[in-house]
Amino acid sequence: MVAAGQMLQARDAQQELLAKAEILYMLAAEAAEVLVGVFQAPVVLAAEAAEVVKRIGAILVVLTLVAEAAEVVALPTEMKCMAALAAQELF
């Protein structure tokens, strides 16, 4: 009878330890997720910043091309004006 009581106590203690171990495991898993998030956040932010820099660079390239195209379009007009001025000086 005493042995049966001790076995029940041992089983209860074992179940209690198992329940505590499960809680500790869940807490450790949550802590690991938090740590991964903490260390991933700067990497994600750096990747997003790099993407923004690339987009800004692409916009600058497009603006440069537009400005150069505007200069090319303006050249004939500028040449016409210069020719007109030269003609005025001649006559």
The tens digit of pLDDT for each residue in 17-37 reads: 889 999 999 999 999 888 888
Please name the residue that has the structure tokens 């807490």: 27
Q: What percent of the chain has pLDDT over 70?
A: 92
Q: For residues 36 and 52, give the distance between their C-alpha atoms in angstroms, rounded to a whole number.
A: 24
- Entry pTM: 0.45
The tens digit of pLDDT for each residue in 38-57 reads: 888 888 888 899 999 899 88
Write out the residue range of the structural domain in which residue 38 sits: 1-89
The token pair that represents 87 in the structure block: 């003609």
Q: For residues 19 and 78, give the distance between their C-alpha atoms in angstroms, rounded to a whole number.
A: 86
Please name the residue that has the structure tokens 């495991």: 25
Count of domains in the chain?
A: 1
